[in-house]
Chains A and B, each alone.
Chain A
C-alpha cells in the first residue's frame, strides 16, 4: 500500500472487479498494481450473509482477519456487484460488542431466573441447560421443548438441529423463522405442485417481457435482483414492469404500471384476471386438460389466532373474537356468493383440506369478480379516481393475456406470504400461469422469491420445520418416517408422527404453559415475532427456560436465561441455498472471537449429554392418536435399538453424529486448502463434521427430485453454486418442463411430478361430494380461492392501516447491520411513514415524535411524511429492524390458518403526538 495511495488503490481494484463484471478492458499494469497491494491476502469464495438473493462474494483474509470483501465477478447471481449491506459483509464480524463468553443468570453461584447475567464456562452453561431440558422433558415429554432456528442457519447446522430434535429427542418442535417468512409459499407449493420450491430461476429476469411484482418491494428487499430486473427493462424496450402493492415504494420508480390496492384485495384482483382469461378465451385448454385439475377448499378457516381469549389483553378481545365468528361483509357476500350479515363460524375441518372441482365450477367461482366489483373493492389510494383504477386493472389483465409470444414472470415475497390468506394468494398466482400454460419455462413462470439466505437451502430443504423431514418428506407420513429412520439408522417408531409446534404456536406455548424450554439459534424472535408484549413477558415466567445463541446482544437475549456466543458466517464451514435452488458453500476463514462457537458444535456437544435410555424409552405425548402408536405417548424403542447393536448408555452424539459412516470423513481433507476447522478441533475426534453431515443429508436428496452434488463438487474452484436437481453433473434451471428438468421424460411435455397430496376427493364450490381419493398423477392443481376480508378492520378509534417491512440498509432485526456504523448512520432509526394530509389532520408534522398505538401496545416513532415509501392516505408504514422502536409490539399475531405464517401487514393503529 506504500507506493499506491489508498484512493488510487481503490480505484484500481474496483476497476479490476468492475471491468471483469462489465467486460471492460483493464490494463495489465493496473491489475498488477492492484495485486501487488494485496500481497499476502488470501481470497476465496463466500456468500453474502443477508437476503435470499444469494450474491457471491470474494473474501480476503490476512493474518487471521477478514481484510477485504468484494462481489464475486464470477458469481452468476450478482456478477461482482453487491448492495450496501453486502458491501459491509466483512464488517459484521467485528462489532465492538460481539458476544465472546457464555452468560447465565446467577445468584449465589447458582443459576437463578431472577439473577443478573454473569460470565460462565461452556461447561457450566451446558450443565444448566441440560438440567433444565431434562426437567421439562421428563415431566411433559417432547412436546414441551422447542428448538427455534433460522433461514440463516447453515445447511449443516439445520441438519444437526433437526436430527437431534427429531431423531434424538423424538420431538417435532423444531421450527425456523422461515415460518415467519416462507411458510405460505411452502404450503402453496405443496398444494399446487406436491413438491416445494420454485420451478423458475434468476435467468428468467433476462428473459421475461412482462415482470409483475405482487407485494414485493424488490428495489429494497432484493436489491441486486432488482438491478437485474431493471436492466432487462432498459435493454428490451418492449418489456414492462408492473408493481402491485399497498403503498408506493421504490419499485414504482421504474414500473410502467403501479397498482395500489387495499390489503387482502389481491385475492379479488387475481380472480378478476382469471375471469378475464376465461371471458377472452385466453385459457390454454390443451395445457390445462393435459397437466392440471381444478380444486378448491373450505372458506371459513379463521385467522390463525387462538380459539380462546384467555390470554388476550382486554383491548385485543374484539379482534380475537373474529377467530371464532366472522360477519360476512358486503364485498365478501358478493365474492363468496353469500348473504351480507351472515355470521360465519370458523370450520372445525382442517383449513388445508381441498378437493377437485370441475372447470365449470371453477368458472362459477370466478363469475362475481367483474371489473366493476373488483375495482370498487380493491382501490387502495383514496386520491385515485375509480375510473383510473379500473383502467389500470384492465391494463394488468391485458398484460397477462398478451399472447404466446410474450414471456411473463410473476414475482412475490413477503407481501403475499405474510398474509392471512397467503397460501391462497400463492395458489392464485400459480392459477394465472397454469391457465396460460406459462410456468417453469425460460422467461415464463410464477416465481416465489425468498427472504433469507438459506430459507430454501436449510429451513425448507433440510426440513427444520415442525412438519418436515429432509428433502420434502413429512413427519405425518409413515413411509417418509420409515425412509428417514432407515437412513438415520433409527429403530422403527423412533420418529414422532405428530406435527410439532409451529413457531408462533411455540411462542404462545410459553404463555399458556404448553412449552417450557426454548432454544433459539441465529434468530431474534422476541423482536421479530408479532405481538411481542405477550412473549417478552412469558419468557420471564419462572417455569420457562430460554436459551439464546447469538453473536451480538439482542432483545431476545434480554429475556433469556442463558446466552451462548455464536460464531458467524466466515468463522465456520457451511453452505446456503438461495431462492433459485442454488446451493453455495464457503470455508472457515477466520476464528471466532473469544469463546464464540458454531451452532453445529453446540448441537453436537449438547447431544453428548443424553443417553439413549433417557430419550428412547416411553415418553408422554398428549394428543397423539396415530395408527400403530399407543395413545398419548411415544413407545419405547430401546429393545429395538439393542437389536440394532446400540446399547442404552450410548450418547446421542455417538448414535446420531459420530457414527462409523460419518467418521469415514476424516479431517484434514484436501478440500480445506489450508483453512482451519474449529468445530473439528473442539470435538477432538478427527471427523470432518460439516462434510460428513452434508453427505449424510445428501442421501435423502439423490433420486428424489432434490439431487444435490457432492460436498467436494460445491467446493471446486470454478463452481459458484449449483441449482438442484443436479443429475449427471448437470444443474436444473427450470423444473417440470421437458428438456429442462431431468425428471420429465421425453414426450411428456410437462410433468408436475411432485408426490404430495396427489389424490383428493371431488366436489363443488361448497364442499366435498365424494370423499374417495381421486389420483392426479403428474398434474398441478388450479385453485379457486375467494376474496376474504382480514380480521382487524379499521375502526373510528384505530383508523390507520399499519404495514411493516424492510429497508435496504438493514437486515431483519438489525443485530448485525446496526453494528456497522456506516449502515447505522445511513438509517439510524425506523421512522413512521405517513401521508402529509393524515399528519396534518392529527396536528402532526414531519419529524414529530409520535405515539403509535394498537390494541396490543404502543411505541414512540419519529414521523416521516417525506419518506422513501409514499403511503396513500390511511396507510402507515414502519420497518422492524429497530430495537429502539420495536414495531412488532404493535403487530397482530393472526396467521394464515394453512401455513401458520403471521400477517405483519394489517394491524389497525392510531397515531398521536408524543
Chain B
C-alpha cells in the first residue's frame, strides 16, 4: 500500500512539475532539460521514434500507472529523460514483457503505438556485452544473462568454444539485435559489480554497414543504389561547346608542370 501511495505521489509530482513548467515558472530549467534523453533511460514498449514520441507524449503518466511492476517512471527535473516523460532503467527495474502490454493501450496520444501488441517486437533498447569484464567470456560458468532472458536462444545465445589448452569450454553469451527487445532483464541480473551487459538505445551501440556492401548472399543488396547521391552530369551532344563534359575542363587544363602551356596547346 505504501508503495502505491509513494508511486502515486511521484507521478503527481512529476505531473505537477510539468504543469508548472507550462506556465513558465521553471522555464529555463525546462529548456535545459529538453536536452537528449540518456542512453540508458529506456522508453516503454511501442514508443514511436524519439522525435515523434516527444512530439506526441502528453506526459500524462497513464503508461506509468498501468505498469504492474513499477518499471516505468516519469522523469522529474534534471532527470535522465526530458521532464514528465516515461522511462525505465534496466539495472533498477527491467521490463517484464507482459504478454498483454498493459502500458500501451492506455496511451491517449499514440506516443505509444496503439497497433503495437506483440511484446517480442518491442525494441526498447539493445543489450551489449563488455567482453572484457563478462565472467562467462572469462571462462566462468555464469551465463546469468542467458538464463534470465525472456527470449533466450534468440536474443541471447551461448557460443560454446574451446579455449587453447584449457580443458574447460567457454560459454560466451552473444546478443542478437534482431530479437533483443531491450527489456533489460540481463542487465538487472548481471552479477558483476557494474553490469557487464548493458541495455542502451540501439543507436548508441549499433553500427551500420554501407548499403552497397553485402556481406552475405540474399541481403537486400541494391546495386542501383550505389552512387545514388553523386551528381553525375548529363551526357552532352558530341561537339557541344556550351557546357563542359565530365572531365573536359580537367583535360583542357595544363598539367601544372613548369614550362607547360595552359590548355595543353603549344
Contacts from A to B (Cβ < 8 Å) = 7, 10-11, 14, 18, 21-24, 71, 78-84, 86-88, 205-206, 223-224, 226-228, 230-235, 250, 253-254, 807-809, 822-823, 825-827, 845-847, 866, 868
Residue in A closest to B171 when the chains form the complex, CB atoms: A227
Alpha-carbon separation in the docked complex, A24 to B163 (Å): 10
Is there contact, CB below 8 Å, between B162 and A84?
Answer: no
Q: How far is the CB of B229 from chain A (nearest CB, A)?
A: 42
Alpha-carbon separation in the docked complex, A83 to B165 (Å): 19
Specify which of B160, B168, B191 is in contact with A822 (CB 8 Å cutoff): B191
Which residues of A are found within 8 Å of B132, using beta-carbon distances? Answer: 11
Residue in B closest to A250 when the chains form the complex, CB atoms: B147
Is there contact, CB below 8 Å, between A79 and B160?
Answer: no
Residue in B closest to A19 when the chains form the complex, CB atoms: B164
Which residues of B are found within 8 Å of A79, using beta-carbon distances? Answer: 166-168
Q: How far is the CB of B139 from chain A (nearest CB, A)?
A: 5
Specify which of A81, A235, A826 is in contact with B191 (CB 8 Å cutoff): A826
Is there contact, CB below 8 Å, between A23 and B165?
Answer: yes
Q: How far is the CB of B148 from chain A (nearest CB, A)?
A: 7
Which residues of A are found within 8 Å of B190, using beta-carbon distances? Answer: 826
Is there contact, CB below 8 Å, between A846 and B169?
Answer: no
Is there contact, CB below 8 Å, between B135 and A235?
Answer: no
Alpha-carbon separation in the docked complex, A231 to B164 (Å): 11
Scoring B99, B161, B163, B190 by chain A CB atoms within 10 A of each residue's CB, the highest score goes to B163
15 contacts between A and B (CB under 8 A): A11-B133, A18-B139, A22-B139, A22-B163, A23-B165, A84-B140, A84-B141, A87-B140, A227-B168, A231-B166, A231-B168, A234-B161, A808-B143, A825-B189, A868-B152
Given contact pairs A82-B141, A84-B191, a sample of 10 additional A-B residue pairs in the complex whose CB atoms are under 8 Å apart: A7-B133, A18-B139, A22-B166, A78-B168, A83-B142, A84-B142, A206-B167, A823-B191, A846-B99, A866-B152
Which residues of A are found within 8 Å of B168, using beta-carbon distances? Answer: 21, 78-79, 81, 224, 227-228, 231
Is there contact, CB below 8 Å, between A22 and B164?
Answer: yes
Over the window 166-200 of chain B, the binary record of Cβ atoms lying under 8 Å from chain A Cβ atoms (1 yes, 0 no) is 11111100000000000000001111100000000
Q: How far is the CB of A654 from chain B (nearest CB, A)?
A: 48
- Verify if B35 is at the interface (C-beta below 8 Å from A): no
Which residues of B are found within 8 Å of A807, using beta-carbon distances? Answer: 147
- Verify if B245 is at the interface (C-beta below 8 Å from A): no
Question: Given A23-B166, A87-B135: A847 and B98 within 8 A (CB)?
Answer: yes
Specify which of A83, A226, A228, A845 is in contact with B99 (CB 8 Å cutoff): A845
- Verify if B96 is at the interface (C-beta below 8 Å from A): yes
Alpha-carbon separation in the docked complex, A58 to B165 (Å): 21
Q: How far is the CB of B194 from chain A (nearest CB, A)?
A: 9
- Verify if B150 is at the interface (C-beta below 8 Å from A): yes
Alpha-carbon separation in the docked complex, A354 to B220 (Å): 71
Specify which of A206, A224, A826 is in contact with B148 (CB 8 Å cutoff): A826
Alpha-carbon separation in the docked complex, A866 to B179 (Å): 15
Which residues of A are found within 8 Å of B167, using beta-carbon distances? Answer: 79, 205-206, 228, 231-232
Which residues 117-133 of B sit at the A interface, judged by CB distance below 8 A?
A: 132-133
Question: Given A23-B166, A87-B135, A206-B167: A230 and B160 within 8 A (CB)?
Answer: yes
Q: How far is the CB of B96 from chain A (nearest CB, A)?
A: 6
Q: How far is the CB of A145 from chain B (nearest CB, A)?
A: 41
Alpha-carbon separation in the docked complex, A7 to B130 (Å): 12
Specify which of A86, A825, A868 is in contact with B147 (CB 8 Å cutoff): A868
Residue in A closest to B148 when the chains form the complex, CB atoms: A826
Alpha-carbon separation in the docked complex, A233 to B164 (Å): 15
- Verify if B212 is at the interface (C-beta below 8 Å from A): no
Number of inter-chain CB pairs below 8 Å: 111
Q: How far is the CB of A173 from chain B (nearest CB, A)?
A: 38
- Verify if B138 is at the interface (C-beta below 8 Å from A): yes
Q: How far is the CB of B67 from chain A (nearest CB, A)?
A: 13
Which residues of B are found within 8 Å of A22, using beta-carbon distances? Answer: 139, 163-166
Is there contact, CB below 8 Å, between A223 and B141?
Answer: yes
Which residues of A are found within 8 Å of B106, using beta-carbon distances? Answer: none
- Verify if B158 is at the interface (C-beta below 8 Å from A): yes
Specify which of A21, A23, A205, A234 is in contact with B139 (CB 8 Å cutoff): A21
Is there contact, CB below 8 Å, between B169 and A253?
Answer: no
- Verify if B144 is at the interface (C-beta below 8 Å from A): yes
Alpha-carbon separation in the docked complex, A369 to B160 (Å): 38
Which residues of A are found within 8 Å of B135, using beta-carbon distances? Answer: 84, 87
Question: Given A79-B168, A227-B168: A234 and B99 within 8 A (CB)?
Answer: no
Alpha-carbon separation in the docked complex, A231 to B151 (Å): 26
Alpha-carbon separation in the docked complex, A866 to B191 (Å): 21
Alpha-carbon separation in the docked complex, A225 to B22 (Å): 62
Q: How far is the CB of B166 from chain A (nearest CB, A)?
A: 4
Question: Given A22-B139, A84-B141: A234 and B169 within 8 A (CB)?
Answer: yes
Question: Given A84-B191, A822-B191, A847-B96: A14 and B160 within 8 A (CB)?
Answer: no
Which residues of B are found within 8 Å of A809, using beta-carbon distances? Answer: 144
Which residues of B are found within 8 Å of A82, using beta-carbon distances? Answer: 140-141
Is there contact, CB below 8 Å, between A866 and B150?
Answer: yes
Is there contact, CB below 8 Å, between B144 and A826?
Answer: yes
Alpha-carbon separation in the docked complex, A80 to B168 (Å): 10
Is there contact, CB below 8 Å, between B141 and A231?
Answer: no
Is there contact, CB below 8 Å, between B164 and A88?
Answer: no
Question: Given A22-B163, A846-B99: A10 and B141 within 8 A (CB)?
Answer: no
Specify which of A227, A253, A826, A827 is in contact with B170 (CB 8 Å cutoff): A227
Alpha-carbon separation in the docked complex, A822 to B194 (Å): 11
Which residues of B are found within 8 Å of A826, using beta-carbon distances? Answer: 144, 148, 189-191
Is there contact, CB below 8 Å, between A24 and B164?
Answer: yes
Which residues of A are found within 8 Å of B99, using beta-carbon distances? Answer: 845-846
Question: Given A808-B147, A866-B152: A87 and B166 within 8 A (CB)?
Answer: no
Is there contact, CB below 8 Å, between B147 and A226?
Answer: no
Alpha-carbon separation in the docked complex, A250 to B191 (Å): 20
Q: How far is the CB of A722 from chain B (nearest CB, A)?
A: 19
Q: How far is the CB of A135 from chain B (nearest CB, A)?
A: 47
Alpha-carbon separation in the docked complex, A828 to B217 (Å): 45
Alpha-carbon separation in the docked complex, A847 to B68 (Å): 11
Q: How far is the CB of A229 from chain B (nearest CB, A)?
A: 8
Alpha-carbon separation in the docked complex, A86 to B140 (Å): 9
Alpha-carbon separation in the docked complex, A479 to B244 (Å): 115
Specify which of B133, B158, B160, B171 is in contact with A10 (CB 8 Å cutoff): B133
Which residues of A are found within 8 Å of B140, using beta-carbon distances? Answer: 71, 81-84, 86-87
Which residues of B are found within 8 Å of A250, using beta-carbon distances? Answer: 147
Which residues of B are found within 8 Å of A81, using beta-carbon distances? Answer: 139-141, 166, 168
Specify which of B133, B164, B188 is in contact with A825 (CB 8 Å cutoff): B188
Alpha-carbon separation in the docked complex, A827 to B141 (Å): 15
Is there contact, CB below 8 Å, between A87 and B191?
Answer: yes
Alpha-carbon separation in the docked complex, A521 to B146 (Å): 35
Residue in A closest to B147 when the chains form the complex, CB atoms: A868
Q: How far is the CB of A712 from chain B (nearest CB, A)?
A: 30
Residue in A closest to B68 when the chains form the complex, CB atoms: A847
Which residues of A are found within 8 Å of B191, using beta-carbon distances? Answer: 84, 87-88, 822-823, 825-826
Q: How far is the CB of B168 from chain A (nearest CB, A)?
A: 4
Q: How far is the CB of B228 from chain A (nearest CB, A)?
A: 43
Question: Given A82-B141, A87-B191: A21 and B166 within 8 A (CB)?
Answer: yes
Residue in B closest to A206 when the chains form the complex, CB atoms: B167
Closest 10 CB pairs of A and B: A223-B141, A83-B141, A822-B191, A230-B169, A231-B169, A23-B165, A227-B168, A22-B164, A84-B142, A22-B166
Which residues 62-102 of B sit at the A interface, judged by CB distance below 8 A?
A: 96, 98-99
Residue in B closest to A203 when the chains form the complex, CB atoms: B167
Q: How far is the CB of A75 from chain B (nearest CB, A)?
A: 12
Which residues of A are found within 8 Å of B163, using beta-carbon distances? Answer: 22, 231
Residue in A closest to B168 when the chains form the complex, CB atoms: A227
Which residues of B are found within 8 Å of A230, using beta-carbon distances? Answer: 160, 169, 171
Which residues of A are found within 8 Å of B142, using beta-carbon distances? Answer: 83-84, 87
Q: How far is the CB of B146 from chain A (nearest CB, A)?
A: 9
Specify which of A7, A24, A232, A808 is in contact with B141 (CB 8 Å cutoff): A808
Is there contact, CB below 8 Å, between A231 and B147?
Answer: no
Residue in B closest to A231 when the chains form the complex, CB atoms: B169
Alpha-carbon separation in the docked complex, A84 to B191 (Å): 8
